[in-house]
A and B are shown apart, each in its own frame.
Chain A
Amino acid sequence: MFVSDEDLMMKCRKGDIGAFELLVRRYQNPLINYIHRFINDYHRAEDLSQETFLRVFKSASRYKPTASFKSWLYTIATNLCRNEIRNRSRRNTCFLEELVEEGEDVYHTEIMQDTRYLPDVLLEKKEQRQIIRKTLAQLPDNQRVALTLVTYQDLRYEEVAEILGCSVGAVKALIHRARQKMKKLLIKAGIGEEKVDEKI
């Protein structure tokens, strides 16, 4: 039987740690991916995901079932990511450069375990991932958040609006601008156009 996030959160409010564990199991991968795409550092992404879950647990008593759990979780995560990036820019580290050198392959289990992938295909995939992450990092903050939440976290515009504290119309514009910019950046990076040419 499927128990909704909100029901699990209400159980957690009453002190049921098992219910909270279920929530962590449900969201650990999506959350780490979201944060990873935001800050481009896998180990920090794990730390910040842990911090997000802890904050959720600590403020469980204040949780109201009227608010969507997903929006609440990603709001906390987004704030933590923004702080992280702010701190980094203060320390003058360029995370765009960092991400290229990061040893990320170990964690891409989904691709690594599949024997169909030949080494050159894998290399191409890795390059693609790096280019995507690089281009995503070039988007303005709100556009990146909105596009990442819609594309990878499957959030509705309404939920994104809740997280960003803006209207649904504003989210619509953000997403469109982000996609257009991504399209241009991907062409600039040398990928993303050929297949379109074939189609048209």
Chain B
Amino acid sequence: MRKYKQTEFPKAHNLKCEPNLANPDELSAYIDKELPTWKRHLVRQHLKKCPICASHLQRLIHTDNFLRHAGDVEASDDFLTGVMARVSEVAQHQRQQESLWTRICQVIEISLGWMPNLSALMGKLRYNIRTRSPVYISILTFAVFTMVGVTLYQPSGDKFGEELRELNSEKVISLEVIQHERPKRLLTTYLHRK
């Protein structure tokens, strides 16, 4: 069989088709009816003129037909019941999760229900501050000033620590200088004086 193929077909395979079919992929797309009508028409015209492409197409169709008759397997009898049993389990689990979620949502809704009351309370407070007593205003001003003061003047931990460490190291250096230099200086002055 192989000998037959070698003697009959190689020449046809090596020949280039003239006029060239723009894209050889189009032969497969032609088989699968995936080409737009105008392109399909062009390919058909080309096939009429080109025996090489026509033979190539024949082979592709044959391969396709051969593959299509490969035989199918079928799902076993209990496949569907197996799938549906597991699906029901998943559905039940989802329902449980959903009920938990709706409970969480209810809690959120109830707490959100307090929001109008909260704003009413704030409104009352504001009204008191504005109308009733200057004491409120002074307390509020004091509170605001304290808060601003605290936020502005509170040194950030690291920066403060670094400054402290720098200061300490300077102290150590100066102490070293004092401890080591002073005797020398004293000696020189002593010698000078001498």
Proximity bits, A128-158, B CB within 8 Å = 1, else 0 = 1100110010000000000100111000110
Question: Would you call B29 and A17 a contact (CB within 8 A)?
Answer: no
The reply to whether B74 and A110 contact each other, CB–CB distance below 8 Å, is yes
- Total count of chain B residues near the partner, CB < 8 A: 41
Which one, B53-61, B121-129, B161-169, B182-190, is touching chain A? B53-61
Main secondary structure of the interface of B (DSSP, over half): helix
CA distance A155 to B91 in the complex (A): 30
Query: Does B114 make an interface contact (CB < 8 A)?
Result: no
Say which residue of A20, A45, A58, A193 sits within 8 Å of B1 (CB atoms). A193
Whether the pair B5, A187 counts as a contact (CB closer than 8 A) is: yes
- A147–B67 CA distance with the chains assembled, in angstroms: 10
A89 near B: Cβ within 8 Å?
Answer: no
Q: Is chain A's interface secondary structure helix, strand, loop, or mixed overall? A: helix
- B residues contacting A by CB (< 8 A) are 1-2, 4-5, 8, 24-29, 32, 34, 55, 58-60, 62-64, 66-76, 79-80, 82-84, 86-88, 90-91
Instruction: List A residues at the B interface (Cβ < 8 Å).
Output: 15, 17, 20-21, 24-25, 28-29, 32-33, 36, 42, 45-46, 49-50, 53-54, 57-58, 104, 107-111, 125, 128-129, 132-133, 136, 147, 150-152, 156-157, 172-173, 175-176, 179-180, 182-183, 186-187, 190-197, 199-200
